[in-house]
A = this chain, B = another copy of it.
Amino acid sequence: MAEGELQRVVGDNLRRYRQGKGWSQEEFAHELGVHRTYMGSLERGERNLSLRSVERLAASLGMEPLELLSERP
């Protein structure tokens, strides 16, 4: 697994979650209490998140952290 892969997977899973809800990035950013531009960079996998940030994101989505970190087919 190349370096930077985990943050890309988290971004993909966040985007999948958002689209499943039919939310815009703005609505999703509001839901998570983060800035819209930060939301975009998260989804694009540009953020080298800490483990606790992943845990907080997962908790606010009602997911387990490993779900957010695991690639979906």
Contact = CB atoms under 8 A, between A and B. Distances in A.
Interface of A: 1-7, 10, 48-52, 54-56, 58-59, 64-66, 69-70
A58 B1 contact: yes
Give the copy number. 2
18 contacts: A1-B65, A3-B52, A3-B55, A3-B56, A3-B59, A4-B52, A4-B55, A5-B55, A7-B51, A7-B52, A10-B51, A48-B51, A48-B52, A49-B50, A51-B51, A51-B69, A66-B66, A66-B69
B55 A6 contact: yes
Contacts of A64: 1
Nearest to A49: B51
